[in-house]
Structure 1
């Protein structure tokens, strides 16, 4: 037993052909039945006409034979002359059967009862004219039709003479014509079936091609080819539903490709961030190990050297502490844990706080720190702590890359729309055009700027300050613009809207679900490095305790170092 077709194209073709065949069969039966009924009615009408013609001739023959006498007496007996005439079965009577009636002719003479509306035949008044000798035409055949008899009444009154004529098994062309119609219908059905096969093949191909393309594209995407698409548009599908499906598939594939690319970027970015974290942490850790090893060797270091090593170790610990704090802050921003607490407050307070925090550093570096703030309050909905952090990062960054004798200026301008603009401008080393597009990348510290700024900038920078600034500005639905010329200075312009919630446009598409997991994975790996930092710090504390105990045993020679060491430890 053959298995049924499994392909969609074969199934559609078989289903279409079966539907057309069933429709043709049902239509053929209905048409043939309708035509047969029409031919039957035509045959009945023809027999009725022939029967009336026969009755007219028989009446004429009966009247001629009876002469002036009655054809049927009032007692119901047929006139002998009439009887003898119809018993002859001569050529004239045969002509009636063979040419006029084209059937066997039954003739009955009798009395018509007008009151009872009943025909009473005479006992000897029935005659049958046979048409057996008749040669039927090629398209004629005996019909089983039994016609109603036709009567003629000679005179009025309650009892009247009457003749009844009935045609038996008349010749008819009904069967031949029905066969002809059936043949035509069969031929038309065959042509229709052939045409339906061609149409079915064409339509199934049109319908199956998009499905095959969908299957092929889905398989390609499953194998990693995210660029696979299907043909779309009115010409690609047979109906609007399939066209919409093709278009939606391409939209889905486009979104999938975008999501996967975002995941890959997130993965690559996570790996790069992990490598950067490892590098940033291992540098101070290596220095701390060296300091610990040197401090552990009490005979190889004198008191001033040990103090210098301890001071340097403290700076390295501060650097790691700042680095881990920045990493944690950015991780909270990325995960959406840290959200701005918006309040309508004077933006000048946040800016002035950041300037006051940086004033001492500016004096140490010999850099003038100027401010140009409006005299009236600037009310903007913002998070004072986050905005202050962003301004502080920009000011610290400007001080770092401005040489002694330079100037850093912070300017605030209220706008007519209710927004506010903050400009942090310096006349430092500037940023080269090649490095400008990357300054907001995490852990990116540039090369030319660091080389021009000197050793102190390389030692203190983590490459996260500007990334934090960018995140804070984005959380406030603001905008940040950078203008810089190498050797001339840099200007950062921050614009904060009057209300970040009203300034938000259409919500951005959500990050792929694996983005946070990538961040967690990076955080877990970084935690291992921070654990190693903790171990190194513990060793350093043990050495410091040992150094303190040693200083107390040798009171006089090592008194100054002991005091300094305690001060450093408390710090």
Structure 2
């Protein structure tokens, strides 16, 4: 692309950007465009009307002048010696008309000056005899006059004096002693042409001045409308940034004043609600933190007592022994809930810290799989792990990454309905991504956002096999945010769900894209040697599967891979 084309492209982009963002520019340009159309139409109509009126007046005056000139020619020829040559008689009559025209007689009236032409057709092949500019007379006009009609025509003529331009030519037969004599008067339209040029230039200058005035007026009017809108926009931005005391000034009682009052009322209402929500949120966070800390001491005491009872359960009867086992199990679950509440309170207070280190993130995935393997066996769920052969080194907090993957796998086991679950890892130069895919109940539209809310459940009647507390995914989102990463969800009812964790490989680096798609491009069921239905996804690599009855790990290299 040449520099000129690049400049044109840049200019067009700048103008398009300005057009989209400037209401004032659009108002001014629209006003000028409509005004220009009106001025052009008005100018064309006025010019056409003035031209028609000038030509009609010229034709009327020329017709009257033709009547007088015909009488002069007839009188002149009646007084000429009949023995004179025909051409001399015609030149004498033409000279008489010319002298009369130049002397400022009646011929110099409203019709203006003219050049006379006298033509007599000869019998046989002889050329016509004429006097004056006979070569300027159009043939079709001569045919009308030859047939005895008075006719006129507009044509372009030139004379020896240097004039070349439009002219009105009017012709008439005569009743002189010379048979077949035709009289033509050529009226140059120089004065009318100058008048029309003056009218056009006046309309052009007037239209240009009017456009400039309209531009200034529309700019002023648009500015009066746009300035309050811009002020409202700036105040709204500051209000959105947290400056809740920002208000619009109210001037007058017009529409802008009513807009300002409505905006201020809305801002006041929002400010009160935001303040109330902040106070409620702070109370909720403080309550969660206080309850979590206050429960630790009695829970520790109860745990010690439960452990003593459980250690001596062999000597108890079966009912009491079962009760002690249930007590220990529920205490384990309660301790997990308390730990999650403490973790949430740390995130809410902004004191959660990231203990990052350079390590192979495959270790985090293996640790998470090892933790939930017993849950998968109990539910009859197959875990398929698909990771690269080479180490995937990243700057992460291993405890938090392992916890996110553990929560995602446990959630997939709870909702996977015993169908295979895929854990896949891919990485590029800037980021790494895990996906956990199940083929269970899936997510309804809109639930991909709600699923990360605290204590949210799609189906309250569903039993959590993992014994989750309802805070796992909420904590996972916070852990991903601490890494400057993203945790996203996708799902369709009856198809399954997919969760994607994307993390930067270098701490603090902004994520641009993810190595794995969130929504599977294709999905199909494959019959394996163990007669288990598993889901194979096409996401850029082709993998083969020979799964064990419970869990399988697949490592893929640059050319794909296989599960072992």
Question: Same-fold call, TM > 0.5?
Answer: no
1 or 2, which has the higher helix percentage? 1
Higher relative contact order (CA 8 A, sep 6+): 1
The two structures have a TM-score, normalised by structure 2, of 0.38
